Amino acid sequence: MLTTDDIVYLKGVGPSKAKVLAAELDIHTAGDLLEHIPYRYIDRSVMSTVANLTEDNALAVLRGTVNNMQTASLGPRRERLTVDFHDGTGTIQLVWFAGTKWARERLKPNVEYLVIGKPTLYNGSWQISHPELEPYSSVGDDRHPLLPVYNTTEKMKQHGLGTRALARITESLLANLAPVAETIPTDIIQKFRLMGRDQALRAIHYPDSPQQLEAARTRLKFEELFFLQLDYQWAHSERQLHSEGRIFPHVGDCFNRFYNEKLPFPLTGAQKRVVREVREDMRSGHQMNRLIQGDVGSGKTLVALMCMLLALDNGCQACLMAPTEILATQHYQTFVRMLDGIGIRTELLIGSVRPTEKRRIKAGMMSGEVQIVIGTHALIEDDVHFRDLGLVVIDEQHRFGVEQRSKLWSKATPPPHILVMTATPIPRTLAMTLYGDLDCSIIDELPPGRHPVKTYHRTEPRRPLVFNFLKQQIDAGRQVYFVYPLIHESEKMDLKDLEDGLEMVQNYFPRPHYATSMVHGQLTAEGKAFEMERFKQGKTQIMVATTVIEVGVDVPNATVMVIENAERFGLSQLHQLRGRVGRGGEQSYCILMTKDNLSYTSKERIRTMCSTTDGFEIAEADLRLRGPGDIQGLQQSGVLDLKLASIVDDEPLVRATRDEVHDLLASDPTLAAHPLLARYIEHSKNKMLWGKIS
Ligand code: ADP
Ligand code: MG
């Protein structure tokens, strides 16, 4: 038997079962079956007994017989089945509320069963509901101290493919299997003392001991992560080798005059470092494809501006694309202010610009007179052309789809250098995996003089105190935000929540002494800009908004952010929102209003927010609480397909495999000395990678 053999030829399978395996678990070959790895093992040497069950006994494995079957009706088509289970040390009850028919047919007196389940104390006696159960005799003899337990589906069970059946099929497969070829280079196997692939695949199903199981797991995790790294890093080095890039050798008037005459404050060390990294990229001869990660308020805009000036100094145009009109407008104003007197023509291209004005701007972009354009999606429309676009900056990149982003690079040949910026930090372990493929700069330093935002959790009864505090802040000349989540499917209902909120706020903060702005998604662009501007200029002290203000908005005089229904927001969103305050010299506050009884994860999120302002720590917590499946941007990354390894728990292995693949590609860039790996790359399905699309 070879791992590539069709599953249908396996002992105990046959055509109909093969069909079910293919449909339910995508298992087609013997190799696929080997990769269907047990999620648990039954250790028969440490079976529980009824006499020594304990409350924290997470999962009990018992051996004994049943009698005294009873059925009680619980209403139409609902019943409860109970049976007494004895193992010589005591008696417990097994209970079924569903699948009672199945259980009734299976349960026989005088048969010894293996029972697995979670015992609970009910009215002072033990019971297990919905245990796994099967005749002990079918569990096999004592050859295997640890028995594998596999994931199966209802349909599989109906076709005789329960976990025990899978175990038996796998056992006979292993007995007849030719040695499985090694895939990892020998020197790496030796360096990490990894178990060989053949032994690991056998031991992961039928381990001789817990120690051997652990070694097999480590080996297989290493392998998964190793090939994931190989995909990423190979793609990265391919791009380095084959991408043609504009060469920007000069630092000229634009950059120097700005730096010497206009820079409003000294750059932070991190900002300087990142500008240097970008400059290196832009003169390397390869197309730059760099991600700048910097926490909210770390000063990414300034870095973007300076990089754009470098492009201008080399005779090219530069553009910046932002996800919302508010943000684009704000960037535009910042740029115009900072570049005042240098004589650089800068324009704003957003949907709400008047048609004649748009035509004028587009003509200027085509002729090259317009040197810097800031805009929204309006920038990627088909009738937008540049004379010579040399650098594209994308702010808050996760807000844009892959296609939208890629449209921008097609607006010049050779393609422009790309800089993407995000304030959503990616957890370190993920970064290590993903940035095999993407160059990444981190602005890990905030401008001096910032006080970390103080964050508090409050519930409804304390609202009057919260409002009193807001009054003090406003009377001291500060401004405050109220943010409401988008809860309902319909924007109308969300608007209703917001309007109720506005009414409550205005009751506490009556006109004319206080003035309130409201911004939400239903407003026109002009309406939004108008309200934002009033708030920015201090004409209103209170801003009531939905999450449209989440990204980028910069009003340094705002010192309090009240987040309503904070339990409804994800961690990274809360962090983004909080970043709207603490931007000036004053101490700022974030108040998380929630209902009273919160779920565990909501509580953890709130606790995390109150205990740290570090975006990376928050990202790690987010990853722990949600798992990688929900992290933005990871869908096409491959880390979600990992079978054994976990990006969250296996950081040392992630690190080790990243370094090994790095060294390997450094010494053998074409994989000429590693034909097996070269073959793997050729067939690799992970063609869609971040670096190509970001
Ligand atoms: P973000 O990284 O969140 O986009 P911004 O670029 O909006 O942050 O910058 C946040 C604020 O910090 C702005 O008001 C900006 O003018 C200010 N800022 C940026 N760099 C510095 C610096 N080196 N020193 C002091 N303030 C700075
Ligand atoms: Mg920003």
Q: What percentage of residues in the chain have a pLDDT greater than 70? A: 92
| 624-650 mean pLDDT | 70
**Which tens digit of pLDDT belongs to each residue from 310-354?**
999 999 999 999 988 888 999 999 999 999 999 999 999 999 899
Choose between 350 and 75: higher pLDDT.
350
**Closest ligand to 579 CA?**
1
Distance CA 551, CA 333 (A): 16
> Residue 421 C-alpha to ligand 2 middle, in angstroms?
8
**Closest ligand to 552 CA?**
2
- The CB density around residue 354, as the number of other CB atoms within 10 Å, is 8
Distance CA 557, CA 535 (A): 10
The DSSP secondary-structure symbol of 6 reads B
562 token code pair? 């009240």
**Predicted local confidence at residue 647, as pLDDT:** 78
Query: Residue 651's pLDDT band (boundaries 50, 70, 90)?
Result: confident
| pLDDT above 50 for 359 | yes
| 104-129 mean pLDDT | 88
Distance CA 116, CA 60 (A): 6
CB distance 361 to 367 below 8 Å: no
Task: Give the position, in ligand 1's atom list, of the atom nearest the Cα of 304.
Answer: 6
**Which tens digit of pLDDT belongs to each residue from 194-230?**
999 999 999 999 999 999 999 999 999 999 999 988 9
Ligand 1: residue of 306, 422, 554, 557 to mutate (most ligand atoms within 8 A of CB) is 554
The DSSP secondary-structure symbol of 447 reads P
Ligand 1: residue of 292, 298, 324 to mutate (most ligand atoms within 8 A of CB) is 298
Task: Give the position, in ligand 1's atom list, of the atom nearest the Cα of 266.
Answer: 23
DSSP 208-267: SSHHHHHHHHHHHHHHHHHHHHHHHHHHHHHHHHH----------HHHHHIIIII-SSPP
| 446-463 mean pLDDT | 91
> Residue 327 C-alpha to ligand 2 middle, in angstroms?
8
**Predicted local confidence at residue 467, as pLDDT:** 96
> Residue 300 C-alpha to ligand 1 middle, in angstroms?
7
> Residue 172 C-alpha to ligand 1 middle, in angstroms?
65
234 token code pair? 């190979």
Task: Give the position, in ligand 1's atom list, of the atom nearest the Cα of 296.
Answer: 3
Mean of the per-residue pLDDT values of the chain: 87
Scored b (16 or more CB within 10 A) or e, 520-552 reads beeeebeebbebbbebbeeebbbbbbbbbbbbb
| pLDDT above 60 for 157 | yes
CB distance 258 to 338 below 8 Å: yes
| pLDDT above 50 for 688 | no
**Which tens digit of pLDDT belongs to each residue from 11-50?**
888 899 999 999 999 999 999 999 999 988 887 777 889 9
Q: Is the dihedral of CA 443, 449, 452, 453 positive or negative?
A: negative
| pLDDT above 70 for 694 | no
CA nearest ligand 1 atom 17, residue: 299
Write the single-letter amino acid at 242. H
**Predicted local confidence at residue 124, as pLDDT:** 86
**Predicted local confidence at residue 560, as pLDDT:** 97
Task: Give the position, in ligand 1's atom list, of the atom nearest the Cα of 294.
Answer: 2
Query: Residue 642's pLDDT band (boundaries 50, 70, 90)?
Result: confident
Residue spans of beta strands (DSSP E) within 273-384: 289-294, 317-321, 346-349, 372-375
Ligand 1: residue of 302, 333, 441 to mutate (most ligand atoms within 8 A of CB) is 302
Q: What is the CB < 6 Å shell around ligand 1?
A: 265, 267-268, 271, 294, 296-302, 423, 447, 552, 554, 556, 583
**Predicted local confidence at residue 690, as pLDDT:** 41
Helix axes 210-242, 197-205, angle to 10 degrees: 130
> Residue 466 C-alpha to ligand 1 middle, in angstroms?
29
| pLDDT above 50 for 543 | yes
| pLDDT above 80 for 371 | yes
**Predicted local confidence at residue 54, as pLDDT:** 82
**Predicted local confidence at residue 633, as pLDDT:** 55
Ligand 1: residue of 295, 301, 307, 337 to mutate (most ligand atoms within 8 A of CB) is 301
- The CB density around residue 263, as the number of other CB atoms within 10 Å, is 12
Task: Give the position, in ligand 1's atom list, of the atom nearest the Cα of 302.
Answer: 6
595 token code pair? 């209902």
CA nearest ligand 1 atom 15, residue: 299
